[in-house]
Amino acid sequence: MTNKPPKKKRLKILYISREDIPPRGTGGVHTWEVANNLVDMGHSVTVICMRRDDQRSTEKMGNLTLIRMGLELGGKRIPLMALRRFGELFRPDYDIIMERQESFGGAGMIVSRIKNTPLLLEVNSPHWGELKWKWDERKAWGRKPVLALLKAWETLQFKSSAANIATLRTI
């Protein structure tokens, strides 16, 4: 009788990121590497990401599918705008939804709650803290209600996640 290791389950993962792939910046490099490493581990990964003018809206690379779209509004990247691709978000039965935590993110959280699919929140920096510091510095009119709303939204993202992963212990 031989003891065979249990067969690893191949997961279908939806990964939502505001970055562009192939990358032009460090955030894109991070998203690209995470997605490819998950594919190398045998998983099927669909990434919803930023689309540049020179890119196709959909591209398949083996077990990696890229769905690119405009995520900019007023010159700012707003990952929550991924909800415009409602069909791609809800059509497949994803095993895990992974989202880069952003103050203006949360598309993965919404899909996760509706479909009852576990959310893995990837935390790379304290976005709300950065926004608060920038806005305090600018002394923007009416910033306190907006900051309170953003903080509540961020808290909801964290409470909605099954697990959080971070690049540093301090985060």
Q: Note the pLDDT of residue 161.
A: 93
Q: What is the mean pLDDT of each run of 10 residues along the chain (171 residues)?
A: 66 91 79 92 93 88 89 83 82 89 86 93 68 51 71 88 84 68
11 close to 96: Cβ distance less than 8 angstroms: yes
Q: What is the pLDDT, as a whole number, of residue 71?
A: 87
Sheet holding 12-20, edge to edge: 58-61, 64-69, 44-50, 12-20, 96-100, 119-123, 163-166
If you write DSSP's letter for every residue of 71-107 in order, what string do you get?
Answer: -EETTEE-GGGGGGGHHHHHSS--SEEEEE--TT--H
Q: For residue 137, what pLDDT is reported?
A: 46
d(CA 23, CA 20) in angstroms, rounded, equals 5
pTM of the model: 0.82
